[in-house]
Amino acid sequence: MVDRNKIIREFRRIKSLGFIPSNRTHDTGIDKTFEDCLGVTENNNRDPDFAGFEVKSQRQMTQSKITLFTKSPSGPRGANAILKDSYGIPDSHFPDIKVLHTSCYGNVFNTHASGYGFRLNVDRGGKKVAFLVKN
């Protein structure tokens, strides 16, 4: 159940604490710290985090984007691993492991370090989203 007043009260309470050191380094630190102050356990659930709201935070003046949701392919089985192994690039710290971090759009192909371009094809009538790859 959405409780707008509860999230507002908690936001004001946390704001009144003043400066709070980050509980994690890099771009995700602010979100993790805010969730910790709310008493939210870190999770990957589809359900809202607190009082009916999905909690999202971001550092001021950052260039990073906020992920509102992620979607994994429904098939074939192991599709994420297939995509990563087929189109990923070596991890900067563990070069024997491939990673695939990218943003995809429905109107243009993106540019990825692998040389491939990725785009979403949204079929609203068929209620389907296809992942297109361009070399």
Whether residue 43 lies inside any domain: the answer is: yes
Number of structural domains the chain divides into:
2
- Tell whether 90 and 57 lie within a shared domain: no
**What digits encode the pLDDT tens for the residues 47-61?**
888 888 888 887 777
**54 lies in a domain?**
yes
| Contact (Cβ atoms closer than 8 angstroms) between residue 70 and residue 80 | no
Is the pLDDT higher at 64 or at 4? 4
Q: Tell me which residue range forms the domain holding 84.
A: 79-134
The answer as to whether 27 is a domain residue is yes
Could you tell me the CATH number of the domain that includes residue 118? Answer: 3.30.70.3570
> Does position 79 have pLDDT exceeding 80, yes or no?
yes
Residue 101: partners with Cβ closer than 8 Å, 6 or more residues away: none
- Give the three-state DSSP class for 50: strand
Residue 52 within any structural domain of the chain:
yes
